[in-house]
Structures are given as C-alpha cells and as structure tokens.
C-alpha cells in the first residue's frame, strides 16, 4: 500500500467524504483553507492516480475523480501491511490490542464471533 503525504491524505479525505466523483476545482474548494493552486491539486490527484488510489473520468473538458476504495478499505490495507512487516504477528497484535480502548476490544470480540 503506497504511503500518503499530508496533502495527499487531505485530498483523499475530500474524495472519501464526497457523495460522488469530484473535479479538481471541487477538491480545491474543499481545501480552501490551504490556499492551493489548481495545478497543485491536479498534481496531487495525478500522483494518487499513479499510486492506484484514484481513478478519473472525462466529463466535457474536465475530469472527475473518485477514490478506488473506501477509507475503511484503505485503513484495513495499511493494517495488513503493518502486520505483514512484523516478524511476530501475534506479538504485534497483542501490542495493538493493549493500546486500544476496552470498547474497541469488545467490538473486535463481537466481530470475531
């Protein structure tokens, strides 16, 4: 799973929060507090597309972008990658479980049952 920089994460959050495909201008407006140029947004969207996280479709003169997978799918893949990197998966899982709240552990137990 490719790693994301801060701006890439912000763009992905915008795509994940959108109700459908969005234009670069839509992303730029959603991230207005960052005062980004349209070319910067297009560059980031292009990088995300090359990383396989975003697809685009032409609509008139513009493109519309959407995420390939949901936020939850992305996080699950990151978790899987982290476990794959651990020489002792059981120990890594045990450490992880020791860091999460009791209600999250209960939710995990329920999901496993």
Angle between helices 6-17 and 38-50 (to 10 degrees): 90
- Per residue in 10-26, pLDDT tens? 999 999 999 999 999 99
Closest CA to 65 of 42, 86, 84, 88: 42
CA gap 43, 76 in Å, rounded: 26
Residue spans of alpha helices (H) in 18-68: 24-30, 38-50
**Under-70 pLDDT residues of the chain:** 1
- Strand ranges for the chain from DSSP E: 54-59, 62-67
Whole-model pTM: value is 0.83
């Amino acid at each position: 799973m490719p790693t994301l920089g801060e701006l890439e994460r912000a763009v992905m959050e915008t795509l994940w929060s959108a109700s459908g495909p969005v234009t670069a201008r839509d992303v730029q407006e959603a991230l207005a507090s960052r005062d980004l140029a349209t070319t910067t947004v297009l560059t980031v969207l292009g990088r995300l597309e090359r990383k396989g996280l975003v697809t685009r479709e032409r609509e008139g003169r513009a493109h519309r972008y959407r995420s390939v997978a949901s936020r939850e799918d992305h996080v699950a893949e990151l978790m899987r990658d982290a476990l794959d990197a651990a020489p002792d998966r059981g120990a890594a899982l045990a450490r992880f479980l020791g860091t999460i709240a009791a209600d999250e552990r209960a939710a995990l137990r329920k999901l496993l049952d």
